[in-house]
Structure 1
Amino acid sequence: MKKLITLASGAVLYSACTPSAFAQSTVTLYGVLDNGFVYQSSSGSNSAVRAVPGGLFATRYGFKGSEDIGDGLHVNFQLEQAFSGQTGAATNAAEAFNRLAYVGLSGGFGEVRFGLQNSPQYDVLQAAMDPTWVKSIASPMNNFNGLIIRANNAISWYTPTYGGLNAKFMIALRDSSSGGSGNGIGFYNVVVQYINGPLNVAAGYERGDEPGEGAGGSYTLAGGAAAGPGAVFSVFNAGASYVIGSNRIWLAYHTENLTNTPKYMQHDVYQISDSYQISPFSLLSVMYGYLHDRTGKGNNAQQVGLLFEYYLSKATELYTAAGFIQNRNQAQYTLSGTAYSGLTITPGSDTRGIGVGLVHKF
């Protein structure tokens, strides 16, 4: 107890006698817990009922903080780790903070960040593409699209907003310890966004060489594709939404190329969605997406998705997500949650699923 009192007294004396204003620093603990159940089946006679974490949100906890250092400048940091709400196990036990670990500065110039962080495509653009922010089994964009979600060794700049217009830039340096080769830039991403009242429009492009290896971080590739040494993965996304009464209408476009691998992918995805605010406590969203295979092999697919959210409080919601995918030829797209993979699908077979979950944010 004496040691504790001595440390506390020293901290008070130090704060009173130095220019560092501890009262102007803040650190926040936050997190999301999302657990539920899902039923999925396919025309290939494959079906399952599973308890799943992260049907709508990735379960995680984190720390974020900011220090006012004067002249309008702030030092910011964020640390974030994903884990299973079903077992409590870390998503990656080898990494203390596998989602975010960055420090940066913000001011009149916007914000710069250094370290492991989300790509602007994932952090910002997906929110402009559909009512789920491209999450859950209900979202065709989630099930059809690949994306480099986050990157190690990243440097980003988020500009200020001028007349509703802003931009976000990121590069990530290669890291040979992650399994890649060489040095220099292994990933880059740029996003431009315009928000004006009921209108939200955004577009962005990203490219990664040896995704998931040279720049580290994490990535997702739909349809069973795999990236490896020498792979080049590029994505262009665009989304727009507009509020009309109790509805918000969404349009989205995605195109991707995965080259220099045995199983390369080239496809476009088109999606239209509508979210309807039934009451202050409930929201219903309907989505339709079509995937066009540009390899000429006819591996097309389409999906209808439905998401119902009911808010028990500002921090807690119940949700039901459902989806149906029709695959063609050798297409084998499946219904995946935000933090879990769907069933393995026989090429050309249809799949359907429904899940329920409970989310609490703190």
Structure 2
Amino acid sequence: MIALAVAGLVSAPAFAQSNVTVYGVADAAVGFGGHGDNDFSGIVSGVLSGSRIGFKGTEDLGNGLKAVFTVEQGFDIGNGNEHIAGKQFSRQAFVGLGGSFGTVSLGRQYAPGYFFNYDAVLGALVSPQSILSSNGGLTITPNSAARWDNSVAYTGSFSGLTARAIYSMNAVETDPNPNDDDAYGLSLDYANGPLSVGGVYQVVQNNAEDQQEWGIGAGYDFGVVKLTGSYQAFDGLGFVKGAEGDLWQVGLIVPVGAAGNVHLAYGEYDRDDLNNRGAESWTVAYTHALSKRTTAYVGYNSTENESGTNGFGLVAGSTGDLGDDSDLFVVGLRHTF
């Protein structure tokens, strides 16, 4: 008992100074849809936001300097499985130093393209930009392709301007040539009242061909409606010379009362090379804030694949589903804590 009391006296001040926060998202929906001959019905995890649990903290080091850290694990709320098998903190894991200059951090982190969100469906699972960028193999996306291992990152915000930069060493874990698989990116975003604009550039290196991407986006809130849109272009997709193309999307958000929003978005993806691929995607959704932490939602997405294209959409297709459409209807709830 004496030993426990002494241990408590010693550890209590250290725990208070560490300022650790436990946080997370629990997001699940009932979904119904299909892709060609494949039908789907079941629980869909992370429709508005990926389900996760995380720990973050800061320590004041004096003279305006602070230590920061974040470790965050994603999971499938439908079955409890890891977001990415074998990764204990698959979403983020970093430590760094922050101050008036911004924050410099080391670890597994978001590339600037993760924050490229000029999207009326807010980067949700049912967003056309999310679907097309993820299925199209892009790293400017609100998905796992924009989480880079072994990276050094910088974030700084100054009078409405936010700058992000990252350099990742050995970004592609499966690359057979680890001496030429680094990645880097840079973005600038400016927000002032109803206006938001930004641009991003990212490169993933490879011995055969570098994959290069860039994008620009903007949004303007008129009060009765908010308009958003973005354009992305790429070259060397999948490290294939001549594999180039683009992705564009537009949308709007219409407030309904004090707590609701209607979201509409449409996007197209085109790839030009020997394996031409293309798809169109549109979404209509409604979100309703039941409280500051809980949001109910309903949404429908339809993704149309061009002839010879397979795999674009939220429901997996079969080998014989070339050119077939994918659609998904969801009704769900997101709670943040």
TM superposition score normalised by structure 2: 0.88
Match of 1:59 among 37, 40, 51: 51
1:172 matched to 2:168? The reply is: yes
Give the Cα separation in 2 of the matches to 1:11 and 1:40: 53
Find the partner of 1:354 among 304, 329, 335.
329
Tell me how far apart the structure 1 counterparts of residues 55 and 81 of structure 2 sit (CA, whole Å).
18
Taking a change above 3 Å as real, the CA distance of residues 268 and 104 of structure 1, as seen in their structure-2 partners, is same
The alignment-based identity, stated in percent, is 27
CA distance in 2 between counterparts of 1:74 and 1:178 reads 35
- Structure-to-structure mapping, 1:228-247, within 5 angstroms: 230=208, 232-247=210-225
Amino acid at match of 2:296: L
Task: Give unpaired runs (5+ residues) of structure 1.
Answer: 16-20, 211-228, 337-341
3-state DSSP of counterpart to 1:69: strand
Pick from 226, 231, 234 the counterpart of residue 256 of structure 1.
234
Say which of 22, 26, 30 aligns to 1:29.
22
Deviations 1:197-240 (A, max 9, x none): 11010110111125xxxxxxxxxxxxxxxxxx846322212210
1:199 aligns with 2:195: yes
Task: Determine which of 56, 61, 71 is the counterpart of 1:69.
Answer: 61
Task: Summarize the alignment of residues 181-200 of structure 1 with structure 2, pairs less than 5 Å apart.
Answer: 181-183=177-179, 186-200=182-196
> Does the CA contact (< 8 Å) of 2:278 and 2:305 recur in 1?
yes
Which residue matches 2:116? Answer: 125
Contact 2:121 2:264 in 1 (8 A): no
* 2:286 is the alignment partner of 1:308: yes
Aligned residue for 1:5, secondary structure, equals: helix
Shift of 1:25: 3.4
Contact 2:172–2:181 under 8 Å retained in 1: no
Q: CA RMSD in A?
A: 2.5
Given the alignment, which residue of 74, 78, 82 partners 1:86?
78
Q: TM-score, normalised by structure 1?
A: 0.82
Aligned partner of 1:287 in structure 2 is 265
For residues 245 and 135 of structure 1, what CA distance do their matches in structure 2 show? 22
Query: Is the CA contact (8 Å cut-off) linking 1:208 and 1:234 kept in structure 2?
Result: yes
**Equivalent of 1:104 in 96, 107, 118:** 96
Per-residue CA deviation, residues 165-224 of structure 1 (Å, 9 max, x unaligned), is 2311100112797655344770001001111111010110111125xxxxxxxxxxxxxx
**Structure 2 unmatched ranges of 5 or more:** 140-144
Q: Report the secondary structure of 2:4's partner residue.
A: helix
The answer as to 2:17 corresponding to 1:39 is: no
**Residue in structure 1 matched with residue 8 of structure 2 by the alignment:** 8
Deviation at 1:328, TM superposition (A): 1.7
